[in-house]
Amino acid sequence: MVLIDKTARRHRWDTRFAPYGYVAPYFLIFGVFGLFPLLYTVWVSLQDRNLLESDAASLVWFDNYAKLMADPYFWNAMGNTLSLWLLTTVPQILFALFIAQLLNRKVRTRTLFRMGVILPNITSVAAVTIIFAQLFGRDFGLINWVLDLFGAGNIDWQAGTATSHIAIAVMVVWRWTGYHALIFLASMQAIPSTLYEAATLDGANGRQQFWRITVPLLRPQIIFSTIIATTGNMRLLAEPLLFNPGAAAATGGSDRQFQTAALYLYEQGFTNYDFGYSSAIAVVLAIATVIVAGLGYLVTKRIRTE
Amino acid sequence: MRPKALVLGCAALATAVVLSGCGSDTASGGKTKLTIGLFGNFGYAELLKEYASTHPDVEITDRTASYSDHHKNLAAHLATSSGAADIEAVDTGYINQFKATPDKFVDFNTKGGGELKDRWLAWKWEASLSKDGKQIGYGTDIGGLAICYRRDLLQNAGLPADRDQVAALWPTWQDFMAAGKTFQAKAPEGVKWFDGGPTVLNAIVGQASTGYYDKTDKIVVGDNKEIKAGWDLVVDGVQSGLSSKLLYSTPVWNTGFKQGQFATVTCPAWQMAKIKDQAGPEAAGKWDVTSVPGGGGNWGGSYLTVPKAGKNVDKAVELAAWLTAPEQQAKVFKSAGLLPSIPKLYDDPSIVDYKNPYFNDAPIGKLFTDAAKKLNPQYQGPKAGDIQTAIGNAMQRVEQGKQNGEDSWRQFVGDVQK
């Protein structure tokens, strides 16, 4: 009796606690690498703290945030961030849909094409940015050379606000479109062909089928892609940083014309060593990202079958 | 799939932790591994080999990053007390920032630095001395100032190419700009008088008696008439079309050397190594060096520091002392052109008589030791390096046509006084 009781109890314990044990690694890792840094950043953002002198830090509560709200360079950076978000996310999703549609046909060597679109994504950001910065060079850049053939050369891409945003957006879109295209392609293949057959019988043309069947049925993936792209594009750092190499890299151009919020955070943290202020920027940026991702969700959620 | 991936992830993570915990400093075959973090060209490749051959118990790895990456990474590594190399080079523009936290570094005064003190120029020694008297860095080179110029381009524009005659063209910076206007009138398309406004301006700032700070660490650049006059002069040069509008130490500036986009460039001694690296062997003999307009001045120069978090501090201090010793500085001057910070070398015939074959046999030994003797050291404040970046940005705004000189100056002064 006692023996059975013991095994039964052990079994009960096992079924009760083992699942926690199985999921524990995830929560442990998330706790150490996700939650703790997040909370610690919030904690640092409430301090007046020099990067190199953590012992001398003092609690100042919301001073950093008050300073931030009155800092024109922060708002400039937030403006650039939103502008770049728009210039990268929208084309990314649209191009990805278009490419997925093209790849969803019976073309020869389509596996090759499908593999090909993901290639930009597996390249190193740094290498790509350095090459794009050369393509967009003022004096010897390929793009200016081509534009020159059409009589519109010699653009100083880094100097202007619009031109620099376009150049950076091109890098990001080039890098991420293929990734989203593959996600869309996978779900396109799951759409039953009977839907298209029925539509064809009803006389719908290809364009109508795309906008009224494919896109609405891809809604969950479009929402997913928009959110993923938003969280990535709201914290662009490497592209604007490496687009302007040299000692002034962290300012994002001579007049901060392409300094993103993440880059401003980097400047404050690692050039000015103002770790508290830099953390406050991180917290505000995280909140802004959640809001913008929410907006993106609301917009894409409206995609419906008519 | 997922749990498996997780397990793999954990395993990888655990391995990474274990590896990084014992990877960098463990001895391989009984050797002490030393790392040295550099930026630009210190001319140490041969010296490190030499040191390793006389010290078989030491294995040295050097890593080189770009100027700004190097110093930002160093700050991050010091903040977390891990990841820094055993020896880290620090530039003049950053030494004040780092000496504000001397406890992150080994105090050389406690490691026999006091006895070596007299090797260096007094101002070089003081510049890396913290307020409480800790010595965080041994001086490597100083900048000095000269002008490097393209003989062929000057000649083609009807100007003299001989270095004494060229020097006679520009006793002052006003004369330098005037010569530029003569040059520009006859220069081929795409070739400008100087590389970029920020480069010229840095030299003028380096010659001023007071720089961005006064001696109480107060930022006074807004009221500094000497610097403002230099600013106005360079703005005028830029607006007269004398500038290639390239920011120094950027990839496009490097390309500028290769393409021959400019005829002159401000030349602290360390600049010569950059020119040689960038312009390449095909430009050998085209470049020459002559004296700078205005008086003596300094731009740049570096220090070797030993972060305290390192595990082989004593061996690192020994190597840093060796690398900055007179014999080694003399070798670096001949191989890479870096001007020693050791005054007794300024009268050493092997230095004074040295001519650089790449620069058309320019007597750089004489030129730079003269410049070093004339040099009136300027006090550098805590964030001199950042202010230098900000004034470079300001000049670029003028070059890019975003602002006029006055507006850009006002924005610069407002930025640095925040």
| Per-residue model confidence as pLDDT tens digits over A33-68 | 999 999 999 999 999 999 988 888 999 999 999 999
**Whether the predicted pLDDT of B8 surpasses 50:** no
Find the largest Cα–Cα distance for chain B. Answer: 77
Query: Taking CA atoms, what residue in B is nearest to A246?
Result: B250
DSSP for A183-207, please give it.
HHHHHHTTS-HHHHHHHHHTT--HH
Which of B414, B386, B383 is closest to B213 using CA atoms? Answer: B383
d(CA B381, CA B97): 9
**Whether the predicted pLDDT of B84 surpasses 90:** yes
Interface of B with A in 323-362 (CB under 8 A): none
- Backbone phi and psi for residue A114, each to the nearest 5 degrees, phi listed first: -65, -40
* Interchain contact B72–A (C-beta under 8 A): yes
The CATH number of the domain holding residue A197 is 1.10.3720.10
pLDDT for A105 equals 84
Domain residues for the domain of A45 are: 2-63
Residues B296 and B67: beta-carbon distance below 8 Å = no
Burial A96-132 (b: 16+ CB within 10 A, else e): bbebbbebbeeeeeeeeebeebeebeeeebeebbeeb
Q: What is the mean pLDDT of residues B316-345?
A: 95
pLDDT for B18 equals 40
Work out the minimum CA distance from B317 to partner chain A, whole angstroms: 22
Provide the number of structural domains found in chain A. 2
DSSP code of A249?
A: G
Interface of B with A in 275-334 (CB under 8 A): none
Cβ contacts of B259 on chain A, cutoff 8 Å: 139-140
Q: What is the mean pLDDT of residues B44-52?
A: 95
pLDDT for B2 equals 41
Cβ contacts of A140 on chain B, cutoff 8 Å: 255, 259
Q: Which two tokens mark A39?
A: 């909370």
d(CA A253, CA B20): 36
| Residue A148 domain flag | yes
Whether residue B261 and residue A255 make contact (CB cut-off 8 A), yes or no, is no
Boundary of a domain, candidates A10, A32, A63: A63
Residues B246 and A245: beta-carbon distance below 8 Å = no
Q: Tell me how crowded residue B63 is: count the other CB atoms within 10 A of its CB.
A: 12
pLDDT for B69 equals 87
Q: Is B23-142+301-348's fold the same as B147-295+383-416's? A: yes
Q: What is the mean pLDDT of residues B297-313?
A: 94
- Backbone phi and psi for residue B213, each to the nearest 5 degrees, phi listed first: -120, 155
d(CA A261, CA A271): 15
* Interchain contact B171–A (C-beta under 8 A): no
Question: Could you give the percent of chain B with pLDDT greater than 70?
Answer: 93
Q: Which two tokens mark B64?
A: 């080189």
Over the stretch B203-231, which tens digit does the pLDDT of each residue have?
A: 999 999 999 999 999 999 999 999 999 99
> Can you point out the beta strands (E) in A131-195?
none
Question: Could you give the percent of chain B with pLDDT greater than 90?
Answer: 82
pLDDT grade for B417, boundaries at 50, 70 and 90: confident
Whether residue A255 and residue B403 make contact (CB cut-off 8 A), yes or no, is yes
d(CA A218, CA A44): 42
Work out the minimum CA distance from B73 to partner chain A, whole angstroms: 8
Q: What is the mean pLDDT of residues A152-161?
A: 89
Interface of B with A in 223-252 (CB under 8 A): 247-252
Whether residue A254 and residue B393 make contact (CB cut-off 8 A), yes or no, is yes
Are A42 and A77 within one domain?
A: no
**CATH class given for the domain over B147-295+383-416:** alpha beta
Secondary structure of residue A272 in the 3-state scheme: coil
**Whether the predicted pLDDT of A236 surpasses 90:** yes
Are A89 and A128 within one domain?
A: yes
B253, burial (CB in 10 Å: exposed 0-12, middle 13-18, buried 19+): buried
More confident residue, B68 or A137: A137
pLDDT grade for A3, boundaries at 50, 70 and 90: low
d(CA B192, CA B160): 17
**Whether the predicted pLDDT of A115 surpasses 50:** yes
pLDDT for B28 equals 52
Over the stretch B140-162, which tens digit does the pLDDT of each residue have?
A: 999 999 999 999 999 999 999 99
Whether residue B400 and residue A159 make contact (CB cut-off 8 A), yes or no, is yes
Secondary structure of residue A137 in the 3-state scheme: coil
B62: left (phi over 0), alpha (psi -120 to 50) or beta: beta
Q: CATH number of the domain at B23-142+301-348, out of 3.40.190.10, 1.10.287.180, 1.10.10.10, 2.102.10.10? A: 3.40.190.10
Q: What is the mean pLDDT of residues B342-366?
A: 94
Are A124 and A13 within one domain?
A: no
Are A42 and A91 within one domain?
A: no
Boundary of a domain, candidates A28, A63, A98: A63
d(CA B170, CA B168): 5
Over the stretch B162-193, which tens digit does the pLDDT of each residue have?
A: 999 999 999 999 999 999 999 999 999 999 99
Q: What is the mean pLDDT of residues B393-418?
A: 95
pLDDT grade for B52, boundaries at 50, 70 and 90: very high
pLDDT for A56 equals 86
For residue A25, give the nearest of B6, B98, B250 by CB distance: B6
Chain centre to alpha carbon of residue A277: 23
Rounded to 10 deg, the angle between the A125-135 and A161-188 helix axes is 130
pLDDT for B418 equals 78
Give the CA distances from residue B299 to residues A155, A196, B200, B320, in Å, rounded to whole numbers and listed in that order. Answer: 32, 71, 11, 22
Are A17 and A147 within one domain?
A: no
Are A90 and A54 within one domain?
A: no
Are A39 and A144 within one domain?
A: no
Are A93 and A166 within one domain?
A: yes
Whether residue B79 and residue A137 make contact (CB cut-off 8 A), yes or no, is no
B95, burial (CB in 10 Å: exposed 0-12, middle 13-18, buried 19+): buried
Burial A236-268 (b: 16+ CB within 10 A, else e): bbbbbbbbbbbbbbbbbbbbbbbbbbbbbbbbb
Angle at B27 between CA B32 and CA B75, to 5 degrees: 65
**Whether the predicted pLDDT of A1 surpasses 70:** no
Are A220 and A243 within one domain?
A: yes
DSSP code of A47?
A: E
Work out the minimum CA distance from A247 to partner chain B, whole angstroms: 5
**Whether the predicted pLDDT of B23 surpasses 50:** no
- Interface confidence (ipTM) of the complex: 0.86
Contacts of B359 (CB under 8 A, 6+ apart): B148, B272, B287, B288, B289
Q: What is the mean pLDDT of residues A212-223?
A: 93
Chain A contacts to B (CB-CB under 8 A): 22, 25-26, 29, 50-54, 130, 133-134, 137-140, 156, 159, 245-251, 254-255, 270-273, 275
| Residue A306 domain flag | no
Find the largest Cα–Cα distance for chain A. Answer: 95
**Whether the predicted pLDDT of B102 surpasses 80:** yes
| Annotated domain spans of chain B | 23-142+301-348, 147-295+383-416
Q: What is the mean pLDDT of residues A130-154?
A: 90
DSSP code of A167?
A: H
d(CA A284, CA A81): 13
pLDDT grade for A4, boundaries at 50, 70 and 90: low
d(CA A44, CA B67): 28
**Whether the predicted pLDDT of B131 surpasses 70:** yes
Question: Could you give the percent of chain A with pLDDT greater than 90?
Answer: 75
Are A273 and A242 within one domain?
A: yes
Whether residue A273 and residue B190 make contact (CB cut-off 8 A), yes or no, is no
**Whether the predicted pLDDT of B17 surpasses 50:** no
